[in-house]
Structure 1
Amino acid sequence: MALSLSASFATLALISLVLLNPCIAFKPKKLMNYSSDYSDGLSWLSGSATWYGAPTGAGPDDNGGGCGFKNVNLPPFNSLTSCGNTAIFKGGKGCGSCYQVKCTGHPACSGNPSTIVVTDECLYGICSDANYHFDMSGTTFGSMATPGQEDALRHAGRMAIHFARVPCNYQGLNVAFHVEEGSNPMYLAILVEYANGDGDLSLVEVLESTPGATWTPLRQSWGAIWRLDSSHALQGPFSVRLTTLTSGKTLVAENVIPADYVPNTVYQSAVQFSPVL
């Protein structure tokens, strides 16, 4: 899946660089389960990392990003987020995938893994000169440091890291659907949030509440936002069927979006994927 960093790249990883932010920066009170159960037995891959935004921030100034997730500075994300380059972002279908990241090549590195979520996209420049690159929030980058050495690590600039894909586990939360602003009887756009396990999606479908209705696939609009442009007035309540990208698992949230939905509102489902890959 990955190629090791070259010797010359490993040398450059120790040099502090002044870099521009390459990321596209366009509420629940539960915490994500950052368990260390996955620290051993993983196939760790080599990658590189930088950081952007405020030193202890979530990355984008608007606390969102190229996936469309809202308020990533708040639980359950808690600013432990990152942009991913092409191999990680996957045209937006990598949104919501979870990784453990760690560093060992700097005196401030703890060597202990942090669990993060992909919430944004990293383009061009520093993001395209390695097979796998994470442009992390300042909080995420600092989380790889020995306690008290966060600023020292952030000052190191570009860093060689190890990373591994792990299942997402939003403890106490079910999958949620944010109906996006602008949705109306002829147009429905939804953001899918807090999916356990794979975290990523390859297909989102809706089922109207009309006799003989069949599942209708939505188009990926951008990031984790999916849309349906209809030739007729859509009739709710709507059920939503999700298919994950990594393992092809499916999940159905029945009648999760009411007929009288309000745009810019989150609707919690009663279902959740298993927190395994």
Structure 2
Amino acid sequence: MTSCGNVPIFKDGRGCGSCFELKCTKPEACSGEPTIVTITDKNEEPIAAYHFDLSGHAFGTMAKKGQEQKLRDAGEVEIKFRRVKCKYPEGTKVNFHVEKGSSPNYLALVVKFLQGDGDVVAVDIKPKGKDKWIELKESWGAVWRIDTPDKLIGPFSVRYTTEGGTKTVAEDVIPEGWKPDTSYETKDL
């Protein structure tokens, strides 16, 4: 249930992970029932002021039963949309993906599966036993990074701030001996 969003939806990556309720109103194959999608990427097509490029599955869920392919074949459809809080299935944990290319002197993170706001506007890390949070910088899209001459050994706590102002701390979520291209989940927040 994913979608790309154009500039005002994707917001240079800050919109990545945000959720929207969509329902199509035209053509006839539209059910008029809402579906919720998560923004995962950017689309630069200048089709409309607000443009969603839906996955095939998400597109099909807006159709009347049995008319999914007919709706997909329509291509462009008229929709109504609104921003909603993200609701993942019970038991889904916040996920911190250490990106490929991370090393003891460079750490890049993506925060995934946030309930609620979904839009991350700040990320900080704190090594175990330290008092000071270290601010990560926006890299690109939803990637937050730090370049440092100091070795990043772990374990680290991660604090993230959402667009709504909520700050959440995941204690020691990234372990000692962390590896690039690996995801680490919260225990319970």
Per the normalisation by structure 2, the TM-score is: 0.94
Task: Give structure 1 regions of 4+ aligned residues with deviation exceeding 2 angstroms.
Answer: none
CA offset at residue 227 of structure 1?
Answer: 0.9
**Whole-angstrom CA distance in 1 between matches of 2:98 and 2:188:** 17
**Whole-angstrom CA distance in 1 between matches of 2:188 and 2:121:** 18
* Paired letter, 1:119: T
Does residue 98 of structure 1 match 2:19? Answer: yes
Query: Alignment partner of 1:139: what SS?
Result: helix
Higher strand share goes to which structure?
2
Of residues 122, 133, 150, the one that matches 1:215 is 133
**Whole-angstrom CA distance in 2 between matches of 1:229 and 1:235:** 13
State the number of aligned residues.
188
CA offset at residue 173 of structure 1?
Answer: 1.2
Q: What is aligned with 1:83?
A: 4
Of residues 230, 237, 241, the one that matches 2:148 is 230
Q: Is the 8 A contact 1:252 1:271 kept in 2?
A: no
Does residue 140 of structure 1 match 2:58? Answer: yes
Q: What is aligned with 2:180?
A: 263
* Paired letter, 1:112: E
Q: Is the 8 A contact 1:186 1:231 kept in 2?
A: yes
Structure 2 gap ranges (5+): none
For residues 53-106 of structure 1, what are the alpha-carbon distances to aligned partners after superposition, in whole Å with 9 as ceiling and x for unaligned?
xxxxxxxxxxxxxxxxxxxxxxxxxxx110000000000000000111111221
Q: What is aligned with 1:172?
A: 91
**Whole-angstrom CA distance in 2 between matches of 1:219 and 1:194:** 20
Q: Is the 8 A contact 1:178 1:266 kept in 2?
A: yes
CA offset at residue 209 of structure 1?
Answer: 2.5
Does residue 118 of structure 1 match 2:35? Answer: no
Of residues 108, 117, 122, the one that matches 1:198 is 117
For residues 181-217 of structure 1, what are the alpha-carbon distances to aligned partners after superposition, in whole Å with 9 as ceiling and x for unaligned?
2211101111111110011100000011254x41111
For residues 208-265 of structure 1, what are the alpha-carbon distances to aligned partners after superposition, in whole Å with 9 as ceiling and x for unaligned?
1254x411111122222211111211231100000001x1111000111011112211
* Paired letter, 1:267: Y
Cα-Cα RMSD: 1.3
Query: Alignment partner of 1:140: what SS?
Result: helix
Q: Is the 8 A contact 1:86 1:122 kept in 2?
A: yes
Identity across the alignment (%): 50
Q: What is aligned with 2:169?
A: 252
* Paired letter, 1:259: E
Per the normalisation by structure 1, the TM-score is: 0.65
Structure 1 gap ranges (5+): 1-79, 273-277
